[in-house]
A and B are shown apart, each in its own frame.
Chain A
Amino acid sequence: MNRAPYLFLGIFLALALSFVGLVLSNQISYGDFSTHIDEDEGKAFPLPAAGLAAQGKLVYQDLGCVSCHTQQVRREGFGSDVGEKSRGWGERQSVARDYIRETHVLLGSQRVGPDLRNFAARKNANGTDHTAASLYAYLYHPQAVVKESNMPAYAYLFKTQPIIGQGSAKALKLPAALGYEVVPSPRAEALVAYLLSLKDTYAYPETKNVYTPPAPKAVKSKESHK
């Protein structure tokens, strides 16, 4: 192997094969994947994100939340994401169509914190729904809500201001200094709106047919979720 031109040609062909085989083929096969139009509901799924939630996604990105949180619910057989005796992180596994409206897909690679793909459809640790107020309290001081949490506090997304008149309706229920209240900044409001918009509950045709779970009892549990 002493001829440089053949070496260069070989390297070029191998890279081209990898590019065509993996990047180009995927772009061609599902790069123009479109929404699913549900004629009964008269809507195209996935639904577009509301304005504030779209801004919140930028806050999510800018604070690097993706370093610790994934946004993909894996099918049965992978961890305990879905199905019976699972953490109930989703009602079904995530599919490619869930992400087609997103300019930046943030699948993530670490679960230092829980998966957030279906966050808004889940319950709190104490069984209640997630609300803006509960999320503000958690973001402001996570360890005050869940003692074991290793999430950093996002107190800089809030501002402490003197109470004027009746005080802000959005103020956090905290034992703040007398005459002061803690209110979320616009960025915190956007982030919380985004977190509350994370909901993949619509069942596409492909979520019913394509990924057939291996065990028969798993099929049953999927049917029950429809």
Chain B
Amino acid sequence: MATDSCLSPQLKPEGAHTPTSEASVIDASLRTPLTLLITSALLWLLVASVLGVVAAWQLHTPAFFNACEYVTYGRIQPAQSSVLIYGWGFNAAFAVSLWLMARLSRGVLPGFGALLLGTVFWNVGVAVGLVGILSGFSSSIAGLDMPGFALPLLWVAYALIAAWTFVVFRDGRSQQLFASQWYLFVALLAFPWIYSIAQVMLVLVPVRGTVQSVIQAWFSGNLFLLWFASIALAAIYYFLPKLLLKPVAHYNLASTGFWWILVFGSWAGLARLLGGPVPAWVQTFGAAASFMLLVPLVIFGLNFVGTLSGSWGSLKNSYPLRFIAFGVVALMLVLLSMVADATHGFAALTQFTYFTAAEVQLGLYGFFTMVIFGSLYVIVPRVFATAWANDALTGVHFVASAIGVVLLVGSLAVGGIQQGLQLADASIAFSAVTTATLPYLFSASVGCVLLAIGQLAFAINFFWTLANASACCVRSVKDLLAAQPEATR
């Protein structure tokens, strides 16, 4: 497991010199909020993996869990996606972004009362949303499935949590701005914007007709590129050079990639409306913006694969690096599929098939979640000042997650293309198309089971480490109390 010794100060990506004592003061200031954020993220991840296995199983075995309406596929599926996005994704993103920003700006978190309150509100909001979806109050908006009454709570909680990332930046002693910080700022500023607009224009006072569909596509496209991808990119820009002990290759291109993905990426979600009942220019602009993602695809390739090249051997002895390298490959594939979706032929083939589900899973699991796992493997030992409890569990986590993602995404993608080809041929009956997808759906659900096993291993390892860390604390307090009478004497 990586230790602080591999984070030699002169090799910090931004070139700033951080004395170890300052880093440990920063880490100590983050200990309590990060405990709560990571704990809740992991608990939600376990809930999401159970729901994910159930939903995946129902697709090929419709009689599985169909006795009552609370567990019907139409409710489990949006519940799973909401818990994965808002329960796991956001809590974990808050934790990683706070730590990255504090370390990069060299700022100490001044207090955590409001932050803890915000985290509690956030998790209550997600729980209300989950119960709401399962009992039939879903908004039926992909990416924003939670019922209207859960949404304002999340908004307030977000403000209470995200503000602290700006506080540590303002209080920080570093004048430099590193690529990770650009992406963190995009994520933290974009989310309240897109979320408020979606909440007002889709849920509170829904706009008329298919303008709703445009806003939905705009929201979910930006939720992925400007929130999830930005947080994960910030983590890659920080951890890749640190773990490899070398600067980011072609770093001078990073700012071009950043502005490009910000300007064109924020238009790219519309490509999924190709052929739909929305104005033709919207479809054209969406497709053009998606096609433009070719530029950041090349730049990220130069930056990340360039940094990794020549150091592939380091992957052997570093699990964090393996997770992050896996995420880099997944990022390339996600961007490539978005570019491909901009072309009429490919979009017409894959639209409405399992291929689009594969793209979503590749983005959320293959890219974002894997990068966050890698980041947490570095962050947790530093924040809790203790090594990971069990390296075998880390190994299980990596192997199960990697195979799980490949199996899940691979079978949905291949099955989806086959489904698209068969749907386009009207001579094949719809029921025959369904039958032909069953083997793929089965292997996808095996992938979900593997993912769940990996995530369980990770959660056990984390709580074990947490127990070790708190045992240390308790011991030192006991020592202190035991020493106290001697000192007074």
Known contacts A18-B267, A31-B207, A97-B209: A79-B351 contact under CB 8 Å = yes
The answer on a CB contact under 8 Å between B138 and A62 is yes
B3 to chain A, nearest CB (A): 31
Query: Which residues of chain A in 10-44 are interfacial with respect to chain B, using CB atoms and an 8 Å cutoff?
Result: 10-12, 14-15, 17-19, 21-23, 26-27, 29-33
Known contacts A23-B218, A78-B348, A99-B210: A109-B272 contact under CB 8 Å = yes
A78 to chain B, nearest CB (A): 4
Nearest opposing residue in chain B for A15, CB measure: B193
The answer for the CA separation of A30 and B277 in the assembled complex, in Å, is: 12
The answer on a CB contact under 8 Å between B434 and A150 is yes
Which of A1-9, A128-136, A175-183, A216-224 forms part of the interface with chain B?
A1-9
The answer on a CB contact under 8 Å between B352 and A2 is no
With most chain A CB atoms within 10 A of its CB, the pick from B189, B209, B263 is B209
Given A18, A102, A110, A157, which contacts B209 in the complex, CB threshold below 8 Å? A102
Interface digits, A137-149 against B, CB 8 Å rule (1 contact, 0 not)? 0000011001111
**For residue A72, which residues in chain B have a CB less than 8 angstroms away from its CB?**
276-277
A204 to chain B, nearest CB (A): 11
Is A124 close to B, CB under 8 A? no
In the complex, the number of residue pairs spanning A and B with C-beta atoms less than 8 Å apart equals: 217
Given B136, B201, B348, which contacts A23 in the complex, CB threshold below 8 Å? B201
Is A208 close to B, CB under 8 A? no
Which of B295-303, B318-326, B419-427, B458-466 forms part of the interface with chain A?
B419-427
Nearest opposing residue in chain B for A98, CB measure: B277
The answer on a CB contact under 8 Å between A156 and B140 is no
By the criterion of a CB under 8 Å from any partner CB, how many residues of chain B are at the interface?
Answer: 84
**For residue B69, which residues in chain A have a CB less than 8 angstroms away from its CB?**
63, 154, 156-157
The answer on a CB contact under 8 Å between B78 and A152 is no
**For residue B259, which residues in chain A have a CB less than 8 angstroms away from its CB?**
10, 14
The answer on a CB contact under 8 Å between A153 and B63 is yes
Given B138, B169, B424, which contacts A64 in the complex, CB threshold below 8 Å? B138
A15 to chain B, nearest CB (A): 5
The answer for the CA separation of A146 and B430 in the assembled complex, in Å, is: 11
The answer for the CA separation of A218 and B424 in the assembled complex, in Å, is: 16
**For residue B116, which residues in chain A have a CB less than 8 angstroms away from its CB?**
none
Is A112 close to B, CB under 8 A? yes
Interface digits, B98-110 against A, CB 8 Å rule (1 contact, 0 not)? 0000000000000
A83 to chain B, nearest CB (A): 9
Chain B positions near chain A (C-beta within 8 angstroms): 58-60, 62-63, 66-69, 72-75, 77-78, 136-140, 142, 169, 175-177, 182, 185-186, 189-190, 193, 197, 201, 206-216, 218, 222, 255, 259, 262-263, 266-267, 270, 272, 274-280, 282, 285, 344, 348, 351-354, 356-357, 420, 423-427, 429-432, 434-435, 438
In the complex, besides A21-B267, A64-B75, A150-B434, 19 extra interface pairs with C-beta distance below 8 angstroms are: A2-B177, A14-B263, A15-B266, A17-B263, A19-B193, A23-B214, A30-B209, A30-B279, A62-B138, A63-B69, A72-B277, A79-B348, A109-B142, A111-B423, A112-B59, A148-B432, A148-B435, A149-B434, A153-B62
Can you list 24 A-B pairs, Cβ within 8 angstroms, ordered by A? A1-B182, A10-B259, A11-B185, A15-B190, A22-B214, A22-B270, A26-B282, A64-B73, A64-B74, A78-B275, A79-B348, A79-B424, A80-B425, A85-B427, A87-B430, A88-B426, A94-B277, A96-B209, A100-B208, A110-B352, A111-B353, A125-B431, A149-B62, A149-B431
